[in-house]
Amino acid sequence: MAGRWLLALYPARWRARYGEEFQALLDEEALTPSLVLDVIRGALDARSVSPSPGGLVMRTRTSVLGSILAVVLVLPAVTFLTAAMVRSLQPTAYQPARAAQAVFDAFAALPVSAVWLLLGLAPLVALTIAVAVAWHRLRTDPVAREDTAAFIAGWRRILRQPALVLAALAFVASAGVLAVAVVHAIAG
């Protein structure tokens, strides 16, 4: 590929967005001194431009606020369900089941409409916001799109290695068992 080194003059973020098509254009052109000068000037220009222009900052801020709102909306339901699970793991005379029981009782004391609000409506709104934010980010941010594709491709490659997957499962399971054993030993 002609001019690969020219592409390397551009910042990584710019290359992630335009690198492939820019290289395709370089492949069509003859490498003349004026072309090299033009690309160097373009690379300097790309490096002088802020990686987060105003519009992008605004979109990012909206996405971050939306994501925070989604987490806040779903947090009470997650707290309630976690408390319900933890309190059944051991007698409520012991921690953390005692604290979990207290949290569960606090939720159980709420009116039915409030429980429906926390367990039904709030997670539904959070889900809608999360999907909208993710869709918007993937549609408007090519870097996020490529990172997501690379992430999925990476997981696919890992899942094709059964030895690695089983070793990871064994690691997580044994670490979990040991953590529970240590917690019980400390709690008596």
Partner 1 sequence: MPRRPEIQPPDPGLLILASLSAGPKHGYAITQDVRAFAGVGLGPGTLYGAIARLEDRGLIEPVESGDRRRPYRLTAAGRTTLEGQLTVLERLTSTALGRLAVV
Return d(Cα 172, Cα 178) in angstroms, integer.
10
Among 22, 80, 104, 107, binds partner 1 (CB under 8 A): 22
Distance CA 138, CA 160 (A): 26
Contact residue for partner 1 among 4, 11, 45, 173 (CB under 8 A)? 45
Shorter beta-carbon distance to partner 1: residue 39 or 83: 39
Contacts of the segment 15-19: beta carbons below 8 A, 24+ positions apart: 16/142, 16/143, 16/146, 17/142, 17/143
Count of positions on this chain that bind partner 1 (CB under 8 A): 28
CA 173 to chain centre: 24
- What residues numbered 117-156 form the site for partner 1, per CB under 8 A? 142
CB of 18 to partner 1, least distance (A): 6
CB-side neighbour CA atoms (13 Å) of 179: 6
Encoded tokens for 60:
């990012």
**Which member of 2, 8, 12, 49 binds partner 1 (CB under 8 A)?**
49
The residue (of 23 and 67) whose beta carbon lies closer to partner 1 is 23
Contact 21, 146 (CB under 8 A): no
C-alpha to C-alpha distance for 99 and 94, rounded to whole angstroms: 9
User: Least distance (Å) from partner 1 to the CB of residue 55?
Assistant: 6
| R_g of the chain, CA atoms, integer Å | 26
CA dist., res. 140 & res. 134, Å (int): 10
Question: Judged by CB under 8 A, does residue 14 bind partner 1?
Answer: yes
- Scan residues 25-44 and list those touching partner 1 (CB under 8 A): 25-26, 28-29, 34-35, 37-43
78 near partner 1, judged by CB under 8 A: no
Nearest residue (CB) to partner 1, 4 versus 41: 41
Which residues lie near partner 1 (CB under 8 A)?
14, 17-18, 20-26, 28-29, 34-35, 37-43, 45-46, 49, 53, 55-56, 142
